[in-house]
Structure 1
Amino acid sequence: MTRRLNFIAAFLLAVTLALTAGGVAEAKNPSAFFVVGLKSYAFDDNGVPSNNEMDVAPFIENGRAYVPVRYLAYGLGVAEKDVNWDEASQTVTLSMEGTTVKLQVGSKTFYVNGKPQEMDVTPLLRDGRVFLPARFVAEAFGFDVFWEDPTITINAK
């Protein structure tokens, strides 16, 4: 119960700050709010907040916040058809608005429109689910990422 109240309070604070700054209505894509340890997230689509359930929770490892790939992608505005997983190479490909991001489980190198970039951590495969480092993926799509204990807040530039 306390975690749920913390999530609601953090979400409301983040939405209030975004509205005060004028960023939500003008954002090119939804703003996403993930809470470490909780299986729910929220995002804003044309000014309408909604809560969504995940089957796994984001976590912190090696100083980075990891979010399940599919939910991170949806929170950023990536369409379901543009989230692809290649089991053989263990590679995730995300595409949105002319930007393609490829990440491979266990590799610190990821590709943005074919150009290699380095991360200080790798995507992880846990219990059959791929978790991506939220900051690197969101920034590759042009988002700003903010850490507000206990939320990971992703806002459009």
Structure 2
Amino acid sequence: MNKIIKRLSALLVVALILISAMCQVIFAEEAAPEAKMQRAEFIVSEPDENGCATASLVIYDSKFSGAQFGFSFDNTVLQLVDRETKEPSEEFNKIATLYDYKTDAGVHDFKSVGCKASNAEGTLKMAAYGMQSAVSDEGAAITIGEEGFKLFDFSVKFLKNEDPCFDVLDTLDRVYPKDAFIGDGKSQKATSLKFVFPESFNLEKEAVVYEPVLPEPSLKVLREERLVDTLMLNIGNFAAIDDGYLKVIDDGNREVVPFIEGDRTYLPLRFIGEAFGAQVNWNPDNQEITVALNDIVVVMNIGKAEYTINGEKKEMDVAPFIREDRTFVPVRYIGEALDKAVYWDGALRLVIVTANESPWNPEGKAEKDILPDALLLMSELVRDMMLPKAE
């Protein structure tokens, strides 16, 4: 008997370790807002009567403390020139103007390093790194949005009104095959780059655009992204997974569960709405429920099939009703009302509600990886261990 007890105890310990490890995987950290891909533009101004113009390197949507770019150009069309004399020059400091970034806290000084200009080769290589003198929580890195930040100006002269054939130089680096990237002091990333020409050039082709091929996100990243705005519920189960976290649908009453009745799947309206950040109000006088989510306002009444979305009248084939002191509505109408995508797995009796723009894909890499963990987490044994009843 003692041997059996010891064996069961050992199995329980192993199970707890597995459960703990699994929970660490499925629980997603609070996801940061989706970041725009950092980008840069090389913008050429309208040439004057002598063909002289300014070409500016502008950084957008980036957190950076340094940037490096290398361009090639047709030297029979364009020359780099001294900004004062407008004569051809290969002295970088006479061709280029490097700008600092000023904030209320001070100035982020940028220094050019390893820069090279060659009219003979038709190449321009530039690199600038921050030497911070301002106090900032971000350290030497600065954050630039859509407003952009002009890092360099270059003096150029067109020998003829033709396409200068700008392109991004190749590198010998396998990670960065093109010489266009921005660093934030911790890492460097390939950068989208666009060459913008004056309208007067009337170029038949569009401006050259370089879009780096980014590495495929890791499975961990895919899982975290997939779990954001994803709500998973099991028929008959008082627990749900919301953004990767196991939660009780109604902590005060564990009889509040999704259920099937008359070939329809019903979900608790308040829990679904609040899981996606909606404000849910109940008026007991007229038994009216108001759900406000972003720019959507939904009004329903108990016992009435008619409801409104932003004042527009709609009708369900069954009316909302109260069970266990909670309002239940068919899942189809919850999706329609809150502008959400609903996925139903009949075999698993599983409902998954997501943002409309990112519906659940049962064949997706992240979805296939998440599902077994989610089902285990919502299973009776694990659920009851993770969500013990309040005394």
Normalised-by-shorter TM-score class: 0.7 to 0.9
- DSSP-derived class of the 1:107 partner: coil
TM-score (norm 1): 0.74
Contact 1:41 1:51 in 2 (8 A): yes
CA RMSD between the two structures: 2.5
CA distance in 1, matches of 2:313, 2:302: 15
Q: Indicate whether 1:64 and 2:64 are aligned.
A: no
* Partner residue in 2 for 1:37: 236
- DSSP-derived class of the 1:74 partner: helix
- DSSP-derived class of the 1:72 partner: helix
* Partner residue in 2 for 1:75: 275
Deviation digits for residues 80-106 of structure 1 (CA, Å, limit 9, x no counterpart): xx1100111111110011100111111
Structure 2: gaps (5+ residues): 1-21, 27-218, 357-391
Superposed, which structure 2 residues align to 1:84-103 within 5 Å?
84-103=281-300
Q: Compute the displacement of 1:69 (Å).
A: 2.1
* Partner residue in 2 for 1:153: 352
Amino acid at match of 1:62: G
Q: How many residues align?
A: 132
Q: Indicate whether 1:124 and 2:324 are aligned.
A: no
CA distance in 2, matches of 1:26, 1:127: 32
* Partner residue in 1 for 2:246: 51
Query: Which stretch shifts more, 91-100 or 135-144?
Result: 135-144
Query: Of the two structures, which has the highest relative contact order with CA contacts closer than 8 Å and spacing of 6 or more?
Result: 1
Q: Indicate whether 1:105 and 2:302 are aligned.
A: yes
CA distance in 2, matches of 1:31, 1:90: 29
- DSSP-derived class of the 1:138 partner: helix
TM-score (norm 2): 0.31
Normalized per residue, the structure richer in helix is 1
Amino acid at match of 1:129: R
Q: Compute the displacement of 1:24 (Å).
A: 6.8
Contact 1:33 1:43 in 2 (8 A): yes
Contact 1:124 1:130 in 2 (8 A): yes
Pick from 329, 335, 354 the counterpart of residue 138 of structure 1: 335
Contact 2:269 2:334 in 1 (8 A): no
Q: Compute the displacement of 1:127 (Å).
A: 3.1
Q: Compute the displacement of 1:124 (Å).
A: 1.1
Change in Cα spacing, 1:99 to 1:60, as seen in structure 2 (3 Å) is: same
Q: Report sequence identity in percent.
A: 28
Deviation digits for residues 96-121 of structure 1 (CA, Å, limit 9, x no counterpart): 11100111111111110011111111
Contact 2:302 2:322 in 1 (8 A): yes
- DSSP-derived class of the 2:285 partner: coil
Contact 1:84 1:94 in 2 (8 A): yes
Change in Cα spacing, 1:92 to 1:25, as seen in structure 2 (3 Å) is: same
Structure 1: gaps (5+ residues): 1-7, 13-18
Change in Cα spacing, 1:91 to 1:23, as seen in structure 2 (3 Å) is: farther
Q: Compute the displacement of 1:145 (Å).
A: 0.7
CA distance in 1, matches of 2:317, 2:224: 30
Normalized per residue, the structure richer in strand is 1
CA distance in 1, matches of 2:226, 2:263: 31
CA distance in 2, matches of 1:63, 1:24: 33
